[in-house]
Structure 1
Amino acid sequence: MTTPQRAATAALTTTVATVCPVFLVGGLSVQIMDELTFSPAGLGLAVALYFTTSALVSVWSGRFVERVGVRKAAVAAIVLVAIALVGIAASVTFTMLIVMLILAGPANSLGQLSANALLAKRIPPKRQGLMFGIKQAAIPASTTLAGLSVPLIALTLGWRWAFGFAALLALGALLLLPPNPGAAAKAAPHPAARRRPSAALVVITAAAALGATAANPLGTFIADYAVFRGMSEAFAGMTVTIGGLAGVVARISVGWLADKRSSGRLSMIAIMLAAGSMGLLILLAPGLWTIPVGTAVGFALGWAWPGLLNFAITLRHPDAPAAATGVTQTGVYLGGGIGPLSFGAIVDLWGYPTAWTTMSVLMLVGAALMVVGRRMLLRVT
């Protein structure tokens, strides 16, 4: 029998391992772009393809996890991401970097949904909010590690070593998987209904897509933006670290608060998105000190809600949590793909101020759609 503590540890380490590639690329973007000679638009394209691939396989990944079980799906995700990390370390062209990030996309989807299923099946309901928050906190924790890798590894040994070390750590996550986390969930009694998400779920997924579109460029571009504004590379890396730490604290705190509530979790997400949009505007204020402040606010409010969303959705779909969150994660991944791509293009065409302003507006629209989706959901449940 898998204990709650073992399940939480496995979910956390699997999540960290499978999201590592894209955040390392973001944190080490200055060094990678300089050596492989591509622009911010190219960086946006690479990250966009990673998240787009994750989105394309998300629904399938959720069903795969339910069919084969958590352990097999998690092993596949970890091995795949380790291969991708080694491939990135060996990349000598921008094209090779893109190919490796595309390979890492399915690993991300499988890892996330395996972790969701493990928490939903093995964590007591009264603690699931906190555990989902801790699990999602692993993602900005990866951003923190990426930021720290700049002064510790990239500026000393070189950026390729960071990806090599990450591959070894990812394989180490295999040792922490429970030996028998549970068999695959039985098929829901109405699989046809699961293939047709409700209108409310579609709207919520669209809101998540907009929120992710606006928030995801933070992790990818904030280091380059900080250097553009006049920061040193080392301080820019520390800014990424500050944002990651803020995201870690916020995701855990929001999960803890969600356990104290019997409802209103989607409303909490809407409030966070609205407040997070203000953080993006802070990035444009004069003075270098506004960059770490805006980064912290953006991560802590505008990008700390995915765990809360997963928690809310799994509560309503306890029979097939991986399949259900596979639908909403499609929105998160689509936004994750569209965000860096569009942001990089806007930066190339009109500059960083226009890009951050556009993302702020999109985040506000996402907040409004989340409110609409919640009201629709309440009418059908």
Structure 2
Amino acid sequence: MADFPVDPPPAVTSASLTRTVLGATIITVAGVLPVFLVGGLAVQLGAELHLTPAGLGLAVAVYFGVSALASVPSGALVERYGPSVAARGSLLLVAATMLAIAAVAHSYPVLLALLALVALANPLGQMSSNAALAHQVPPGRQGLSFGIKQAAIPAGTLLAGAAVPAVALTVGWRWAFVLAAGLALATLALVPTGRAAAASPARQRGERATGALVMLGLAAALAAGAANALGTFLVSSAAARGLSPGLAGLVLTLGGAVCLVSRVLGGWLADRRTGGHLNTVAGMLVVGAVGLSLLHLAGPVALLLGVALAFGLGWAWPGLLNFAVVRLHPQAPTAATSITQTGVYAGGCLGPLGLGALAGRLGYPTMWLVAAVTMLLAAGFMLIGRRMLLRAMNRR
């Protein structure tokens, strides 16, 4: 399927392009860092705020649930006020809330309320970053730029992990949130100055293939729900199979690194194709499902191969999906990606909850098989959504 070109962005210099991509990437990191910090600092938070594993699961679910509910409204705000204004609002909200957690989070309910509040900044930052890349990056480099931006998600995990020995175990966990606030404030300097032109009413209305986008969002929800199980349950699953906690943590770190590289590489390769991006996403999900199915087997070979395939392809698709939606829906790329991003957040909320309950009743091997089937279903829905989108485009 040939892509429909996005309106050509204005001429950009190498410096401005670098600033745009770097800004979009760090804005994305700032948006997801709060929930990753809570996960990475769970031991320290648990000692002071009585954060239990169930409480941690609820906090993550609340964060992504609020993000899902706020995704479409965030897209509308970005279209109305422009990505620069939205990005600044997102960063200021992150900074203020991170400082509030450091200063006043002395109980679990307060932490949960502040995490729900800062979750509003996550989709706002994501949508503003998508808009900036769609309108300011030349088409021949958009795939790579979206891949780099989405690589910020596993990079956020690595930062949160590094915060444990570097900050939490030296000066205390609260200073990790202070540093996160400082990162958000420092990123304000990378946001382009001036208010971007808002989309015109005709552009906002466009001829949005809403049904197709909802189908793609459903596929993203299933895929994200299955893939989020990797970061949530991989260590405990491997430890239950007899792997030491240290080695299990190293396997998770390896998976995160593979995911980061795969997202960037996938974007770079997308720029060298003229279409078929949604087909590629579906293929990645099929291979990722194979990787998830391998995790139900015992033995280090199955574990390492499963992690490589599941992280390397089964969780490397979000940037390519955003790129494909932007290319195929040029009338309002921000609003379009807000619909599919809602699915990603919904999967991040519901997937670990459902799969965690399944693991508790039937064990981790069964959970990994169910996650694999879920990812296969996601691939099927992705192809159905592509077909619906093509029909909607042909009717214009």
Q: 2:217, 2:343 within 8 Å by CA — same for their partners in 1?
A: yes
Q: 2:204, 2:332 within 8 Å by CA — same for their partners in 1?
A: no
CA distance in 1, matches of 2:42, 2:341: 25
1:338 and 2:355 aligned? no
SS in 2 for 1:249: helix
The equivalences for 1:1-381 within 5 A come to 3-33=16-46, 35-89=48-102, 91-180=105-194, 182-189=196-203, 191=205, 193-194=207-208, 197-226=209-238, 228-229=240-241, 235-287=247-299, 291=303, 293-381=305-393
CA distance in 2, matches of 1:289, 1:92: 44
CA distance in 2, matches of 1:375, 1:239: 37
CA distance in 2, matches of 1:258, 1:340: 30
Question: 1:149: Cα distance to partner?
Answer: 2.9
Flag the 1:35–1:241 CA change in 2: closer, same or farther, 3 A. Answer: farther
- Counterpart of 1:27, as a letter, is G
Question: 1:181: Cα distance to partner?
Answer: 6.6
Question: 1:60: Cα distance to partner?
Answer: 0.8
Q: 1:71, 1:178 within 8 Å by CA — same for their partners in 2?
A: yes
CA distance in 2, matches of 1:231, 1:112: 36
Q: 1:270, 1:370 within 8 Å by CA — same for their partners in 2?
A: yes
CA distance in 2, matches of 1:312, 1:294: 27
Flag the 1:277–1:78 CA change in 2: closer, same or farther, 3 A. Answer: same
Aligned to 2:4: none
Identify unmatched segments of 5+ residues in structure 2. Answer: 1-9
Flag the 1:94–1:231 CA change in 2: closer, same or farther, 3 A. Answer: farther
Question: 1:205: Cα distance to partner?
Answer: 1.2
SS in 2 for 1:302: coil
Flag the 1:241–1:54 CA change in 2: closer, same or farther, 3 A. Answer: same
CA distance in 2, matches of 1:238, 1:95: 32
Deviations 1:192-237 (A, max 9, x none): 854xx43222211111110011112322343444555555655554
Q: 1:30, 1:224 within 8 Å by CA — same for their partners in 2?
A: no
Question: 1:253: Cα distance to partner?
Answer: 0.8
SS in 2 for 1:322: helix
Question: 1:297: Cα distance to partner?
Answer: 2.9
Q: Give the count of matched residue pairs.
A: 379
Q: 1:27, 1:220 within 8 Å by CA — same for their partners in 2?
A: no
SS in 1 for 2:119: helix
Question: 1:177: Cα distance to partner?
Answer: 1.3
Flag the 1:29–1:360 CA change in 2: closer, same or farther, 3 A. Answer: farther
Flag the 1:229–1:174 CA change in 2: closer, same or farther, 3 A. Answer: farther
Flag the 1:314–1:141 CA change in 2: closer, same or farther, 3 A. Answer: same
Question: 1:34: Cα distance to partner?
Answer: 5.5
Flag the 1:297–1:155 CA change in 2: closer, same or farther, 3 A. Answer: farther
- Counterpart of 1:121, as a letter, is H
- Counterpart of 1:125, as a letter, is P
- Counterpart of 1:14, as a letter, is I
CA distance in 2, matches of 1:99, 1:342: 23
Question: Which segment is superposed worse, 77-86 or 202-211?
Answer: 77-86
Aligned to 2:5: none
Question: 1:190: Cα distance to partner?
Answer: 6.5
Q: Using structure 2 for the length normalisation, give the TM-score.
A: 0.87
Q: 1:29, 1:223 within 8 Å by CA — same for their partners in 2?
A: no
- Counterpart of 2:152, as a letter, is A
Q: Using structure 1 for the length normalisation, give the TM-score.
A: 0.90
CA distance in 2, matches of 1:101, 1:294: 32
Question: Which segment is superposed worse, 225-234 or 238-247?
Answer: 225-234
CA-based RMSD of the aligned residues comes to 2.5
CA distance in 2, matches of 1:156, 1:221: 28
Flag the 1:56–1:368 CA change in 2: closer, same or farther, 3 A. Answer: same
Deviations 1:102-145 (A, max 9, x none): 11221000000000000000000111011111111111111122
Question: 1:287: Cα distance to partner?
Answer: 4.0
Question: 1:291: Cα distance to partner?
Answer: 4.8
Deviations 1:132-189 (A, max 9, x none): 1111111111112223333434444444433332222222111221213732222335
- Counterpart of 2:368, as a letter, is W
- Counterpart of 1:68, as a letter, is Y
SS in 1 for 2:93: helix
Identify unmatched segments of 5+ residues in structure 1. Answer: none
